[in-house]
Amino acid sequence: MNHVVVVGAGLAGVRSVEALRARGFGGTITLLGEEQHRPYDRPPLSKGVLIGKTDSTIVDSDLDALEIDFRPGVSAKGLHTGVVETTEGELAYDGLVIATGARPVRLRGDGPQHVLRTIDDALALRALLTEGARVAVIGAGWIGAEVATAARKAGSTVTVVEAASFPLATALGPIGAHTASWYAQAEVDLRLGITVASVDQGGLTLGDGSAVEADVVVTGVGVRPAVEWLAGSGIALDNGVVTDEHLRTSLPDVVAVGDCAAWWSRRYGRRLRVEHWDTALGAPDVAVAALLGADAVYDPVPYFWSEQFDNMVQYAGYHDGARLVLRGDPAAGGKANWGACWTNEDDTLAAVLAVNRPRDLLQGRRLIEGGQRLDVHRLADPAVALRDC
């Protein structure tokens, strides 16, 4: 293998080029990035960048020392056997890493609509989050909650409209209801069970025909894998690029990583596509090993965190079909300090949620990885360390 092309210069892309060199690949590496920027981290965009704490989140990676042919502002438009079609002509490859991430979903309507995916999005939005500005956020998921937090810190008046009957519904299910009080405490007008019909000049039109007036509209209703450029290539696509447990795609010498990859999880016996920073960080080394002919398996316990309304929310695992045990009292006064565990039928831990309880996250993640049986009755008591359950 002489030439590896990495498409997508986000975290998964830059970790892929680092892994190629770390594993001794001495050939040519071309890194294509649609954005004009060097690879940067996205989690701080809705945290430090939005509140003005920092302007740059560039990943600490020396692309020159790694001898990478980095091409910012160049997009892949198509894929044929052994060739990537780009906005600057064709590029032949022996090995290909697909790391094109995901793009935010936008809603109907002709009104100005902000999304938050790129550093440019974040800097443009930050300028509008001012004292007294009326900000409407669509979606009370992770991004919506973090944008609402930043907007309130800036003194804006914030309305969050959510179609589900509680926040974080998609990620956490009903346990997300316990975060609704955070919105109230931050004086955010949280409107649940309400759909947005369109984003119009001057605000939102809701499903019932009523309106929310706003100077700034931010849509945070999720993302879709950025795989449109692969249409017609013959590669298997199903909610992202389909891969096996080694992150190999259906095409020879092509692997996929990060937000765009739907990989086979040996641990969960199903395909997962996880839009988390930890996945973009960890998957590239396995994918590159596969590309270079080794047999590594990608089989993590997914991990995610969010900082919202001055709370650190952390989650590890996968809880579909598992039993929920609430840990602590979300209604207790003072700073939130509670969590949840999800257990499997054999009393092993499937997932853990920790609100301002980093130790629960650490211990819970180890228990999930280790697969020990637990005394599930003790899980409900936050005074008992998880490792002692």
Q: Note the residues at the interface with ligand FAD (CB under 6 A).
A: 7-13, 32-35, 42-43, 45-46, 75-76, 99-102, 116-117, 143, 226, 229, 258-259, 275-278, 280, 304-306
Least separation in angstroms between CB 117 and ligand FAD = 5
Q: Tokens at residue 98, please?
A: 């697909």
Q: Which is nearer to ligand FAD, 114 or 276 (CB)?
A: 276
Q: Which is nearer to ligand FAD, 35 or 369 (CB)?
A: 35
Are the CB atoms for 318 and 370 separated by under 8 Å? no
Q: Which is nearer to ligand FAD, 261 or 379 (CB)?
A: 261
Q: Which is nearer to ligand FAD, 99 or 325 (CB)?
A: 99
Q: Which is nearer to ligand FAD, 241 or 374 (CB)?
A: 241
Q: Tokens at residue 204, please?
A: 């939102």
Least separation in angstroms between CB 329 and ligand FAD = 25
Half-sphere exposure of 253 (CA within 13 A, CB side): 16
Q: Which is nearer to ligand FAD, 152 or 374 (CB)?
A: 152
Least separation in angstroms between CB 97 and ligand FAD = 11
Least separation in angstroms between CB 256 and ligand FAD = 9
Least separation in angstroms between CB 304 and ligand FAD = 4
Least separation in angstroms between CB 21 and ligand FAD = 18
Least separation in angstroms between CB 227 and ligand FAD = 8
106 Cβ neighbours under 8 A, 6+ residues apart: 113, 115, 219
Q: Tokens at residue 238, please?
A: 């199903």
Q: Name the DSSP class of 53.
A: S
Q: Compute the distance between CA of residue 238 and CA of residue 235 in angstroms, rounded to an integer.
A: 10
Q: Name the DSSP class of 243.
A: -
Q: Tokens at residue 135, please?
A: 């900000």
Q: Which is nearer to ligand FAD, 298 or 304 (CB)?
A: 304
Q: Compute the distance between CA of residue 103 and CA of residue 33 in angstroms, rounded to an integer.
A: 14
Least separation in angstroms between CB 356 and ligand FAD = 15
Q: Which is nearer to ligand FAD, 75 or 344 (CB)?
A: 75
Dihedral sign for Cα atoms in the order 74, 262, 243, 371:
positive
Residue 140's φ and ψ, nearest 5 degrees, are -105, 50
Are the CB atoms for 28 and 2 separated by under 8 Å? yes
- For residue 144, what is the enclosing H or E element? helix 142-153
3 state DSSP class of 39: coil
In degrees, rounded to 5, the angle at the alpha carbon of residue 118 between the alpha carbons of residues 114 and 124 is 50
C-alpha distances (whole Å) from 139 to each of 147, 155, 159, 162, 363 are: 10, 20, 10, 5, 31
